[in-house]
């Protein structure tokens, strides 16, 4: 069962996959510093995608809204993503795939034998 609060949207008019970029979009928080609701985030993400679609004549291939974190991911042509970054309602656009790994590898690993006969 999918319990994730993220929601997914796809469009039928996507360009070739090789022309697409994946990005994460962080939306601006309200000026009154309140925490945006999930509905606010969904509405703002939808508005951003629609505004950029009107401006560029392009569409996002896919997007996923992180409604608890006021952000969303998007797969779209570079021109589309560039247009997102120019909007006043957008705080930051980040590449989805990073050059470094987030894994913090242990510096030492030793197999362990637990004592026998105890419960």
Rounded CA gap, 35 and 114, in Å?
A: 47
Query: Least distance from C-beta 94 to other proteins, angstroms?
Result: 5
- Nearest CB to other proteins, comparing residues 38 and 53: 38
Rounded CA gap, 38 and 50, in Å?
A: 18
Residue numbers at the binding site for other proteins (CB under 8 A): 1-6, 8, 22, 24, 26, 29, 35, 62-64, 66-71, 73, 75, 91-92, 94-119
Rounded CA gap, 42 and 114, in Å?
A: 50
Query: Least distance from C-beta 90 to other proteins, angstroms?
Result: 11
- Nearest CB to other proteins, comparing residues 16 and 103: 103
- Nearest CB to other proteins, comparing residues 8 and 86: 8
Cβ atoms 89, 44 nearer than 8 A: yes
């Amino acid at each position: 069962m999918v319990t994730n609060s993220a929601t997914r949207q796809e469009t039928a008019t996507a360009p070739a996959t090789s022309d697409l970029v994946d990005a994460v979009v962080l939306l601006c928080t309200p000026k009154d510093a309140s925490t945006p609701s999930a509905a606010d985030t969904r509405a703002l993400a939808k508005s951003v995608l629609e505004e950029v679609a009107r401006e560029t004549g392009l569409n996002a291939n896919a997007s996923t809204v992180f409604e608890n974190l006021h952000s969303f991911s998007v797969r779209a042509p570079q021109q589309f993503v560039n247009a997102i970054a120019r909007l006043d309602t957008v705080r930051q656009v980040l590449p989805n795939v990073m050059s470094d790994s987030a894994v913090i590898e242990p510096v030492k690993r030793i197999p362990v034998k637990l004592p026998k006969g105890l419960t």
